[in-house]
């Protein structure tokens, strides 16, 4: 679903060329680039080496997610899985790839616009992924990327709120503030997937409050508000994001996360600033947005922005308006 207007931005005349934006995570994070090279070459040894060199589970999950977006890797992954039946990485990457293939068939449309055949094929890919990951999680219960993908799978397979939450709880027992998983569960607890706004905002706040300062969890607060905005009718949506409570909520969340002195710029930082930039822009809080646009420079993550039609040019417009306040 995309939305045409968030209001609040002044049209600064000529939009800058959207192509100047760096949106591909492999371009934005130089450290990720070798993975793309390995994937395109179908080089399992290099893929394995890349993951072996990562120093945090956060990075591993980001890399697995980014990898999933590279088409055509199934063939070499299937070979790797066959050759290394006990290897969690090969199965997790393959499962992530199956999830993407399935989701591309389903499309991002609302369920009522997805045909029965699309759903059947979607579910069939997801089941293949799930069965790989049931094994991985059984063997390696602390392996965060597999649980993260299984939270996405619980949603796609419509296994229910309590099952998605169970998966998150199993993961968080080992990794209490794993942002990649939190952002997946946040989707599940939104009304569009059978949750409620109370649950969505509650989960975002709970994650933000329990995480140490300077962690990513505050980004969830902004994500929840953007999701809420998306569901409201135009005038209500504008009023919602312009409201002082939402603004204050966003400010606090940004201060304890991406704007905190302890914040480490790992591979979530572009998503973080992009999300806050969007949330503040939609509410017309240009000065607040400006700090995040400034931090991003020419980088942008489509994460939440993809809800906007033609998001890159909207990004440029919002950015221009925000930076003009500096």
Instruction: Enumerate residues 102-121 that contact another protein by CB under 8 A.
Output: 116, 120
Q: If you ran DSSP here, which 8-state letter would residue 284 be given?
A: T
Nearest approach, Cβ of residue 139 and another protein (Å): 5
Choices 65-73, 122-130, 236-244, 304-312 (CB under 8 A): range interacting with another protein: 122-130
Among 3, 79, 121, 166, binds another protein (CB under 8 A): 166
**Helix 144-156 × helix 88-106 angle, to 10°:** 30
Of 280, 287, 271, 180, the C-alpha closest to 225 is 280
Of 119, 199, 186, the C-alpha closest to 151 is 186
> Which residues lie closer than 8 Å to 36 by C-beta, 6 or more apart?
26, 70
* Residue number, 4 or 162, with CB nearest to another protein: 162
Q: If you ran DSSP here, which 8-state letter would residue 109 be given?
A: S
Among 141, 176, 212, 243, binds another protein (CB under 8 A): 141
User: From CA 125, how far away is CA 268, in angstroms rounded?
Assistant: 27
| 127 touches another protein (CB under 8 A) | yes
Q: Is 317 within 8 Å of 12 (Cβ atoms)?
A: yes
Choices 126-134, 204-212, 245-253, 260-268 (CB under 8 A): range interacting with another protein: 126-134
Choices 40-48, 132-140, 224-232, 305-313 (CB under 8 A): range interacting with another protein: 132-140
Choices 45-53, 104-112, 154-162, 214-222 (CB under 8 A): range interacting with another protein: 154-162
Among 163, 231, 266, 302, binds another protein (CB under 8 A): 163
* Residue number, 198 or 213, with CB nearest to another protein: 198
Q: Could you tell me the sign of the dihedral formed by the alpha carbons of 182, 316, 27, 153, in that order?
A: positive
| 309 touches another protein (CB under 8 A) | no
Phi, psi of 94 (to 5 degrees): -65, -45
> Which residues lie closer than 8 Å to 14 by C-beta, 6 or more apart?
none
Of 82, 88, 95, the C-alpha closest to 126 is 95
| 87 touches another protein (CB under 8 A) | no
> Which residues lie closer than 8 Å to 116 by C-beta, 6 or more apart?
none
| 29 touches another protein (CB under 8 A) | no
CA-to-CA dists, residue 121 to 51, 71, 95, 128, angstroms: 30, 17, 15, 11
x-or-dash pattern for another protein, window 207-246, by CB under 8 A?
----------------------------------------
Among 139, 234, 236, 248, binds another protein (CB under 8 A): 139
| 161 touches another protein (CB under 8 A) | yes
| 66 touches another protein (CB under 8 A) | no
Size of the site for another protein (CB under 8 A): 27
Choices 99-107, 131-139, 211-219, 268-276 (CB under 8 A): range interacting with another protein: 131-139
CA-to-CA dists, residue 51 to 48, 64, 134, 192, 304, angstroms: 5, 9, 21, 34, 27
The separation between CA 65 and the C-alpha centre of its own chain, rounded to angstroms, equals: 9
| 162 touches another protein (CB under 8 A) | yes
| 49 touches another protein (CB under 8 A) | no
Among 36, 100, 167, 285, binds another protein (CB under 8 A): 167
Residue 22: strand, helix, or coil: strand
Q: Which residues bind another protein (CB under 8 A)?
A: 116, 120, 123, 126-127, 130-131, 134-135, 137-139, 141, 153-154, 157-163, 165-167, 169-170
């Amino acid at each position: 679903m995309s939305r045409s207007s968030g209001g609040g931005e002044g049209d600064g005349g000529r939009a800058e060329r959207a192509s100047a934006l760096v949106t591909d995570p492999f371009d934005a994070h130089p450290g990720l680039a070798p993975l793309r090279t390995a994937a395109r070459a179908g080089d399992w040894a290099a893929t394995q080496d890349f993951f072996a060199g990562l120093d945090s589970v956060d990075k591993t999950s980001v890399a697995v997610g980014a990898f999933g977006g590279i088409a055509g890797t199934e063939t070499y992954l299937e070979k790797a899985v066959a050759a290394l039946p006990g290897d969690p990485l090969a199965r997790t990457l393959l499962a992530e790839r199956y999830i993407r293939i399935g989701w591309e068939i389903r499309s991002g449309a609302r369920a009522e616009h997805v045909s029965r055949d699309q759903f059947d094929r979607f579910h069939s890919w997801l089941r293949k992924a799930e069965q790989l990951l049931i094994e991985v999680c059984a063997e390696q219960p602390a392996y965060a990327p597999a649980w993260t993908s299984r939270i996405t799978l619980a949603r796609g397979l419509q296994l229910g709120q309590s099952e998605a939450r169970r998966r998150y709880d199993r993961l968080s027992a080992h990794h209490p503030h794993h942002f990649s998983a939190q952002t997946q569960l946040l989707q599940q607890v939104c009304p569009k997937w059978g949750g409620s706004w109370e649950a969505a905002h509650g989960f975002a706040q709970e994650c933000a409050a329990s995480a140490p300062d300077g962690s990513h969890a505050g980004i969830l607060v902004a994500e929840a508000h953007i999701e809420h905005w998306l569901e409201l009718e135009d005038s209500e949506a504008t009023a919602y994001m312009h409201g002082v409570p939402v603004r204050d909520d966003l400010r606090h969340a940004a201060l304890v996360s991406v704007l905190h002195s302890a914040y480490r710029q790992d591979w979530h930082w572009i998503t973080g600033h992009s999300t806050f930039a969007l949330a503040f822009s939609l509410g017309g809080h240009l000065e607040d947005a400006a700090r995040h646009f400034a931090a991003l420079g020419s980088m942008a993550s489509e994460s939440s922005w993809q809800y906007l039609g033609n998001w890159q040019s909207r990004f440029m417009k919002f950015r221009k308006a925000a930076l003009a306040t500096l």
